[in-house]
Amino acid sequence: MVIGHKNPDTDSICSAISYAYLKNKINKDEEVVYEAKRAGHINGETAYVLDHFKAELPEYVPDVATQVKNIEIRKTPGVDRTISLKKAWMMMKELDVVTLPVVRSGRLEGIITTERIAQSYMDVYDNEILSRAHTKISNIAETLDGEVVVGNPEEYYIHGKVIVGAAHKWYLEGEINKGDFVILANRTQSQLLAVKSGAGVLAVCNNSELEDEVINLAKENDCTIIVSPHDAYTVARLVNQSMPISYFMHTRNIVTFKTEDYLDDIKEIMAKQRYRDFPIVDNHGMYVGMISRRNLLGARKKQLILVDHNEGAQAVDNISDAEILEIIDHHRLGSVETVSPVFFRNQPLGCCATIIKQMFNEQGVKIPKKIAGLLLSAIISDTLMFRSPTCTEIDKSAAEDLAKIAGCDIEKLATDMFTAGSNLKSKTAEAIFYQDYKQFTIDGVKFGIGQICSMSEEELDAVKNRMHDYIDKISKGSGLDAMYFMLTNILTEDTKLLYAGSKAEDLIERGYEIKSDGDTFLLEGVVSRKKQLLPQIMLAIKEEL
């Protein structure tokens, strides 16, 4: 992910898009793709730029903590609820798993575990369970490695008990009831007796030959006959394995996770469960695969390239959980920490896009018209059309080159951008405040600075009272020592600074050696948060210490 800061401005978005394009152009690893993302909602100016140059809005990523989709999800195939216990057991051995997901039309119905299969052997003392489980005839035949000689394999055994017909004929005559499942050897008289007594299924062992009389009588009495190569003991032992897993599978209170779930949220849940494997579903409830606690050990962190910022407070949430690969920025050095060394390019320029334009040139990559338009817009925005004290000759030169490629008139584009970006009357105070807002921590002092720029003094005055009331309200309980909002007039090159918080007024008074007019400071010649306001606040904080 190539991503800018929270509350992204035009530079943050356009630099992310442009740098992702450059990285993909010079990338030689086909398995790696660079994608532009955003850590917040865009403002009107940026929306205008993206629309004007027909660029797609990057996907919104509010959090970069590791998610289930970032770990190896085992693609254990889903099975049908009608398969036999034996087939499920064989699949588990083959796949080396202890849990199988039971799926219908792609949706998870339940799970069958080796524990449940073991319980079907050890805990069941019920000779009618085969019928109560509604076992399919074909399942029985398959489990017994046998063949259905008489009857329909697609029918189900639904009534009766299982009997091993090893007793004397006179004893069997009183034991066999209608529908019973009778296991017999090659004694024709016993076979005939079982059919006449109403047996539902005969399991004939040792591949015994059947007399025509037995076959015909079975057909007349709707009695199914299965011939198995196994002896009576083996058939009796195997027959319960033919039951469908639906009778034993877990269907209630199944712990499932979604692909979008965060690992920190599921670790504790997994630790409290006795199951080793957990099904994963997508946002539509469709089965995806299985994970175990073991999979969490190999979780892949999300990989990021940061543009236009290098401070943790401004970064996307849970930045510490991600792997930072590169940082491209033009601000002061902040608090982002990395585990490994990274490519870090920081230059004292007016705009991050200027650095990226340089990197296109250095790599010998031709800048497309659309990308040129985006980079140009970012420079115009960040330098306030070259009026900001942060603007350098390098920024101006880059903008002129990009304007030629994009076929743009710089002044007209700037006017259209700033007009689209202001339009303050139709916006809520919240939307205006967070349009371009950043937080800082200097020597333990926490403060935030928002900014809005306009070419109309009248427009700025119209929202002044609204914004003062808003920051006064949200500063309470924010945990910040100071909160500021810059109403910057691009044409007159000054800023009316609104403030709230316990240290807000004192820091500006000492930083600029001026007094407020009650609720506002007039900062003449100040248009840059980065180069003019922030350094003075930092100086006041240092003096206080």
**What CATH number does the domain containing 110 carry?**
3.10.580.10
pLDDT digits (tens, 9 = 90+) for 55-83: 999 999 999 999 998 888 999 999 999 99
pLDDT digits (tens, 9 = 90+) for 115-174: 888 887 775 567 888 898 899 999 999 999 999 999 999 999 999 999 888 766 666 777
- Regarding whether 399 and 434 lie in a shared domain, the answer is no
Compute CA distances 113 → 92, 98, 132, 440, whole Å.
9, 6, 20, 53
Task: Specify the pLDDT at position 143.
Answer: 94
Mapped onto helix, strand or coil, the DSSP state of residue 224 is: strand
Question: Which two structure tokens, joined as six digits, stand for 156?
Answer: 């189900």
- Regarding whether 520 and 455 lie in a shared domain, the answer is yes
pTM passes above 0.95: no
- Regarding whether 368 and 355 lie in a shared domain, the answer is yes
- Regarding whether 217 and 139 lie in a shared domain, the answer is yes
Distance from CA of residue 82 to its chain's centroid? 33
- Regarding whether 143 and 195 lie in a shared domain, the answer is yes
Q: What are phi and psi of 444, to 5 degrees?
A: 85, -10
pLDDT digits (tens, 9 = 90+) for 474-525: 999 899 999 999 999 988 999 999 999 999 999 999 999 999 988 899 999 9
d(CA 330, CA 341): 19
- Regarding whether 449 and 388 lie in a shared domain, the answer is no
DSSP 388-455: STT--HHHHHHHHHHHHHHT--HHHHHHHHHHHH--GGGS-HHHHHGGGEEEEEETTEEEEEEEEEES
d(CA 13, CA 2): 10
- On whether residue 124 sits in a domain, the answer given is no
Domain stop point among 204, 226, 242: 242
- On whether residue 129 sits in a domain, the answer given is no
Mean pLDDT of the chain: 92
Give 211-218's long-range contacts (Cβ < 8 A, gap of 24+).
Answer: 213/188, 214/188, 215/149, 215/150, 217/192, 218/150, 218/151
- On whether residue 307 sits in a domain, the answer given is yes
CA nearest to 8, candidates 40, 44, 47, 48: 40
Radius of gyration of the chain (CA): 37
41 burial type by CB count under 10 A (0-12 exposed, 13-18 middle, 19+ buried): middle
CB burial of 445-465 (b: ≥16 within 10 Å; e: otherwise) equals bbbbbbbbbbbeeebbeebee
- Cβ neighbors of 414 (< 8 A, separation 6 or more) are 380, 385
- Regarding whether 101 and 51 lie in a shared domain, the answer is no
pLDDT digits (tens, 9 = 90+) for 292-319: 888 887 678 899 999 999 998 899 999 9
pLDDT digits (tens, 9 = 90+) for 180-231: 999 998 889 889 999 999 999 999 999 999 999 999 999 999 999 999 999 9
- On whether residue 127 sits in a domain, the answer given is no
Task: Specify the pLDDT at position 172.
Answer: 74
Q: What is the CATH number of the domain that holds 377?
A: 3.90.1640.10
Percent of the chain past pLDDT 70, that is, above it, reads 98
Domain span at 314 = 2-66+301-421
Task: Specify the pLDDT at position 125.
Answer: 64
Task: Specify the pLDDT at position 1.
Answer: 97
Task: Specify the pLDDT at position 325.
Answer: 96
- On whether residue 364 sits in a domain, the answer given is yes
- Regarding whether 475 and 414 lie in a shared domain, the answer is no
Q: How confident is the model at residue 421 (pLDDT cuts 50, 70, 90)?
A: confident
Domain stop point among 399, 421, 443: 421
Q: With beta carbons less than 8 A apart as the criterion, state whether 85 and 245 touch.
A: yes
Q: How confident is the model at residue 411 (pLDDT cuts 50, 70, 90)?
A: very high
Handedness of CA 62, 63, 68, 69 (dihedral sign): positive
Task: Specify the pLDDT at position 182.
Answer: 94
- The mean per-residue pLDDT over the stretch 13-23 comes to 98
Q: What are phi and psi of 383, to 5 degrees?
A: -100, 5
Q: What is the CATH number of the domain that holds 512?
A: 3.10.310.20
Percent of the chain past pLDDT 90, that is, above it, reads 73
Task: Specify the pLDDT at position 545.
Answer: 63
Task: Specify the pLDDT at position 454.
Answer: 87
d(CA 470, CA 481): 16
- On whether residue 432 sits in a domain, the answer given is yes
Q: What is the CATH number of the domain that holds 200?
A: 3.40.1390.20
- Regarding whether 534 and 392 lie in a shared domain, the answer is no
- On whether residue 128 sits in a domain, the answer given is no
Maximum average pLDDT range among 3-17, 174-188, 421-435: 3-17
Task: Specify the pLDDT at position 520.
Answer: 94
CA nearest to 261, candidates 62, 65, 38: 65
Task: Specify the pLDDT at position 178.
Answer: 92
Q: How confident is the model at residue 340 (pLDDT cuts 50, 70, 90)?
A: confident
d(CA 367, CA 378): 15
- On whether residue 126 sits in a domain, the answer given is no
Give the chain's domain count. 4
- Regarding whether 308 and 166 lie in a shared domain, the answer is no
Domain stop point among 421, 454, 486: 421
- The mean per-residue pLDDT over the stretch 392-420 comes to 95
- Regarding whether 110 and 85 lie in a shared domain, the answer is yes
- Regarding whether 10 and 83 lie in a shared domain, the answer is no
CA nearest to 98, candidates 80, 79, 113, 120: 113
